[in-house]
Structure 1
Amino acid sequence: MNLLLLLALCGGLYFLFASNNGQGGSRKQIEQREQVQLQDALADAKRWTDRLGSQVLNLSGNDAASTQAMADASERFNAASAGLAEARTVKQAMLARESALEGLHYVNAAREIMGMPAGPALPELEGQRQAGRVTEERTVRQEDGSTVTASPHASSQTPHYYPGGMVAGRPVPAGWYSTAWWAPAMMTGMWAASSMMFYSAMFAGMAGTPSPAEFEAGDMGDMGDMGAGDMGDMGGDFGGGDFGGDFGGDMGGGFDFGFDF
């Protein structure tokens, strides 16, 4: 009987040791896998950021629209570089990659305006497909008498390009605009109460764009999981540089879309 108890005790101890050792190995494997995923994500973000940096360094606009597009591309390069330097998670690396890709979409827009080849096709941005694109020119007059114009084409009246995507959880269609009306939401992560009325006036019934109901509902998608904290980690993404200048200059003095509820 004592021998049986001793064998049972030894067997139990061996099983416990083996189980713990196995769990430790699994944890180590998980950590190694996560590290590999992070390194891959950082390498991918760096590849696109370096490509954007080369374009920003070697290309300049030759009119208002292409110059503005390249200024936005430069701002996106600064954001991607800062995000890449501070990225400690796959999610943060993905945000840096997204900034770089957005910048390259701006570059392609500038190249198109100047009659240059756009270069290799770019991956879609998060939410770009859902956001649609401007398919006709429209102008909305605000209560203060100023106007906001959306157009599928660049002009001196619509020099602000947006490649399309989700801003603070709501779609902004790709197109050319007279002013960067999405900038306040991009800066703060929140839309003004009057934004719904503005979107409806500008895009209701326009083919190729989300309906006002879809804009109101919003859809953060995968990027929504990244949270405001991760956006903050990108090092003053929208707080300075050319974007900051455009925001302060073109949109200063309040930008509430001119609608009252």
Structure 2
Amino acid sequence: MLGLLLIVLVVGALFALPSSGGRRQVQQRQQVSFDDAYADAKRWTDRLGSQVLNLSGNDAASTQAMADASERFNAASAGLADARTPKQAMLARESALEGLHYVNAAREIMGLPAGPALPELEGQRQAGRVTEERSVRQEDGTVVTASPVATEATPHYYPGGAVAGRPVPAGWYSTAWWAPAMMTGMWAASSMMFYSTMFAGMSGAASAEAFEAGGLGDAGAGAEGMGDMGDMGDAGGDFGGDFGDFGGGFDFGGFDF
């Protein structure tokens, strides 16, 4: 009886093991998924590369937007070179799409057609956009200005979306105030006060409560989520762009209008 039971258990275990054919099917599906994601990312990256190569800005705002587009092209290209999974390819795609949004902003400033509509960035709809010009003065006298349109005082464009899991509304800014969080994947504790002061009650922009809650665009933790933009640096190495001048070190304490 015991021998028969052992035979039944062994046979059951053998049937429970995936066959080599089953493993090959899984591997084939995974490869097809990666190939599709890679091809899609490469398509957008190539389109961005063509724009970066053939278009130059003609004023401060459009030049800055094209510089940011070029940086995103470098990020997308590096991400594709390192991509080994569909998710990594999707990160490269997001970099390329963000770059194309910068290109469209530059083209709009220069009076050129924006071209075909682009897919939304991760979290772009939730982040909203700047709908009125507003400035916040810091204790050190530094003024951060947000505007719905490009001006001499607001040459830094952001297409809107999730940065380190928190919303940054689409618009034009006097400085790239989101850049430290984009590079490090972390927001300063005082950023909540800054966001609330800048965007409180602004129609169209994500609420201060949404900023405080975080988790925007997350599909998981760490590298698993687009909201955690710390990994975007891995896709593009140095997210330096033209973010050297942050103005006042971003000590976001003590604001007034």
Normalising by structure 2, report the TM-score: 0.88
Q: Which residue of 2 aligns with 1:100?
A: 96
CA change 1:105–1:231 in 2 (3 A) is: closer
> Partners of 1:160 and 1:210 in 2: how far apart?
19
Q: Which residue of 1 aligns with 2:127?
A: 131
For 1:157, give the aligned amino acid. A
Report the number of matched residues: 246
1:259 to 239, 254, 257: 254
Matched, 1:151 2:147: yes
Report the structure number with the largest CA radius of gyration.
1
> Partners of 1:68 and 1:232 in 2: how far apart?
19
Q: Which residue of 2 aligns with 1:210?
A: 206
Q: Which residue of 2 aligns with 1:82?
A: 78
Q: Which residue of 1 aligns with 2:172?
A: 176
Matched, 1:198 2:194: yes
CA contact (8 A) 2:66 2:103 kept: yes
For 2:49, give the aligned amino acid. G
> Partners of 2:10 and 2:68 in 1: how far apart?
64
Q: Which residue of 2 aligns with 1:110?
A: 106
CA change 1:12–1:209 in 2 (3 A) is: closer
> Partners of 2:155 and 2:233 in 1: how far apart?
28
Q: Deviations over 1:112-170 (max 9, x none)?
A: 00000000000000000000000000010111111000000001110000000000010
CA change 1:18–1:196 in 2 (3 A) is: closer
User: What is the CA distance between 1:254 and its match in structure 2?
Assistant: 1.9
The equivalences for 1:51-62 within 5 A come to 51-62=47-58
Normalising by structure 1, report the TM-score: 0.87
CA contact (8 A) 1:149 1:177 kept: yes
User: What is the CA distance between 1:175 and its match in structure 2?
Assistant: 0.2
CA change 1:253–1:133 in 2 (3 A) is: closer
CA contact (8 A) 2:65 2:105 kept: yes
The equivalences for 1:237-256 within 5 A come to 237-238=238-239, 240=240, 243=241, 246-248=242-244, 250-251=245-246, 254-256=249-251
Q: CA RMSD in A?
A: 2.2
SS in 2 for 1:254: helix
User: What is the CA distance between 1:223 and its match in structure 2?
Assistant: 4.6
CA change 1:19–1:252 in 2 (3 A) is: same
CA change 1:222–1:169 in 2 (3 A) is: closer
CA change 1:183–1:81 in 2 (3 A) is: same
Q: Deviations over 1:187-231 (max 9, x none)?
A: 111001110110011000000011111111112434544526854
> Partners of 1:205 and 1:16 in 2: how far apart?
63
> Partners of 2:114 and 2:137 in 1: how far apart?
34
SS in 1 for 2:80: helix
Ranges in structure 1 where 5+ consecutive residues have no aligned partner:
none
State the percentage of identical aligned residues: 78
For 1:130, give the aligned amino acid. Q
CA contact (8 A) 2:33 2:86 kept: yes
Farther off after superposition, 251-260 or 194-203: 251-260
Normalized per residue, the structure richer in helix is 1
Q: Deviations over 1:29-79 (max 9, x none)?
A: 111101110111111110000000000000000011000000000000000
Ranges in structure 2 where 5+ consecutive residues have no aligned partner:
none
CA change 1:131–1:12 in 2 (3 A) is: closer
CA contact (8 A) 1:150 1:158 kept: yes
